[in-house]
Amino acid sequence: MTVVAVRNLVKSYDGAPALNDLNFETRDGEFFVLLGPSGAGKTTTLKVIAGLEDPDAGEVLFDGKRMNAVAPNLRSVGMTFESYALYPHFTVYENLANSLRAPGRKHSESDIRRRVDQIAKMLKIDHLYDRRPGELSGGQKQRVSLGRTMVGEPSVYLLDEPLSHVDAKIRFDLRIQFHRLETLQNCTSIYVTHDYVEALSLGDRIAIIDHGQIVQIGNPKQIYYTPKNVFVARLVGQPHINLLDAVIESDASTASLRVPQGDFSIPLAADTLQKLENVDAPRAITVGIRPIDIALEPDRDRATAKVRADVFEPFGSLGLLAVKAQDIYLELLLDSELEVEPDAPLGLSFREDRLIFFDRQSQQNLLWNED
């Protein structure tokens, strides 16, 4: 299995930087996800790795071997494009089988049929064999494009938004199948997406990319619970993380986070205060807490924050409740069957162990540790 490394990659288009000293390295047989917003440099990264674009500076390494001068067809890379890139005059079956019939490949027709059937059934496109791309929906085209890449059994899979045009149910089924597919387990895959759900569910590790640079690399739990900065915290999670301006207050026996605009204070454990003091955290900080980590407190008089309900709406199996605490709004997730009347008085409690502390100026996580 191939380890892919990119070192100090720089790439510009008409003077506009797409990659800006980009660095990362996959692990042997890893499913590595590049997650970032549109224009972050995700697709450009894949094209440079595949040899479809030449970097202005830096290098691409496969198992330590420099690949910059190696032709794309000699890199043993299979790439799925968001734009499908199917042969319009071929049937679905012919598009899928084509890479196995390339010069130098020695597969019998029975082997080709077996391999195509295996992938097509997994992608639920085996009933489309006789159709041509012009007769397919966008989601079907994308699955054929993905299948064509997977059939070829390259050393490295480069998957560019392969599920972006697939409907929600099939997308969920395919994410499950990706975990089971032996083909993907036996090689290195680099998967590009702007969808944090795909990233968290598929990635062994996730690299957050923005403006052509890697912001943070970590496993799904690290990315979700310990984001390196506010950008990562906002990028991952829906509904978005709650971000509150707060002031650390403490005396000899207690500590808390005072939220002036909300007129409430969140109790702070002694060991948490000590960690903040150890990094010389400023008193005025930004604190983040995800909607799932805020709960209704049955006894409003004992609640951390006294609020009033604003809007409640279904959010899948949960309900999204927006509440107002004096001058600010918070969002939390509840049982979708709960009935919450507008302007109803409520009390909230917060999971202190899930609070995330950011420097207001740099927006960096004050307690973030690369290890």
Digit-coded pLDDT (tens) for 29-47: 889 999 999 999 999 999 9
From residue 359, alpha-carbon distances to 208, 233, 246, 343 in Å are 20, 13, 11, 33
**73 half-sphere exposure, CB direction, 13 A CA radius:** 5
The SS3 of residue 274 is: helix
Q: What is the rounded distance in angstroms from the CA atom of residue 63 to the CA atom of residue 30?
A: 13
Which range, of 74-78, 140-144, 248-252, 360-364, averages the lowest pLDDT?
140-144
Tell me how far apart the alpha carbons of residues 40 and 192 are, in angstroms, rounded to a whole number: 11
Contact between residue 56 and residue 11 where contact means Cβ atoms under 8 Å apart: yes
Supply the angle between the helices 138-151 and 109-122 in degrees, to the nearest 10.
130
Q: Residues 261-273: pLDDT tens digits?
A: 999 999 999 999 9
Q: For 124-183, how does the pLDDT look when each residue is reduced to its tens digit (9 = 90+)?
A: 899 999 999 999 987 788 788 888 888 877 889 898 887 776 677 777 777 776 666 655
Identify the structural domains of the chain with CATH numbers, from first to last: 4-231 (3.40.50.300), 242-358 (2.40.50.140)
Query: What is the pLDDT of the chain when averaged over all its residues?
Result: 90
What pLDDT was estimated at residue 19? 97
Compute the Cα dihedral for 215, 199, 9, 7 and give only its sign.
positive
Amino acid at residue number 272 = T
Phi, psi of 67 (to 5 degrees): -110, 0
Q: What does the buried/exposed string (b/e) look like for 113-152 if buried means 16 or more CB atoms within 10 Å of the residue's CB?
A: eebbebbbebbebbebbeebbeebeebbbbbbbbbbbbbb
Side chain identity, residue 224:
Y
Could you tell me where the beta strands, DSSP code E, fall in 179-296? 188-193, 205-210, 213-218, 242-250, 255-259, 264-267, 284-289, 294-296
User: Quick check: pTM over 0.95?
Assistant: no
CA torsion, points 9, 13, 14, 20, in degrees to nearest 10?
A: -30
DSSP structural state of residue 90: S
What's the pLDDT tens digit per position in 44-89? Answer: 999 999 999 999 999 999 999 999 999 998 888 888 876 777 889 9
Please give the Cα distance from 303 to 345 (Å, whole number): 11
pLDDT digits (tens, 9 = 90+) for 90-119: 999 999 998 788 766 778 889 999 989 988
Rounded to whole angstroms, how far apart are CA atoms 23 and 60?
A: 10
pLDDT in tens, 280-329: 999 999 999 999 999 999 999 999 999 999 999 887 788 999 999 999 99
Record the tokens describing residue 146, joined without a space.
Answer: 């993905």
Rg of the chain over Cα atoms, rounded to whole angstroms, equals 25
Is residue 228 over pLDDT 60?
A: yes
Q: What is the 8-class DSSP label of residue 240? A: P
DSSP codes of every residue in 309-364:
EEEEEEETTEEEEEEEETTEEEEEEEETT----TT-EEEEEE-GGG-EEE-TTT-B
Position 5 scores a pLDDT of: 97
Report CA-CA distances (Å) from 370 to 138, 196, 223, 227, 233: 40, 21, 11, 10, 16
**Amino acid identity, position 2:** T
Q: Which two tokens stand for residue 185?
A: 């387990």
Averaged pLDDT for residues 17-38: 94
pLDDT band at residue 339, thresholds of 50, 70 and 90?
A: confident
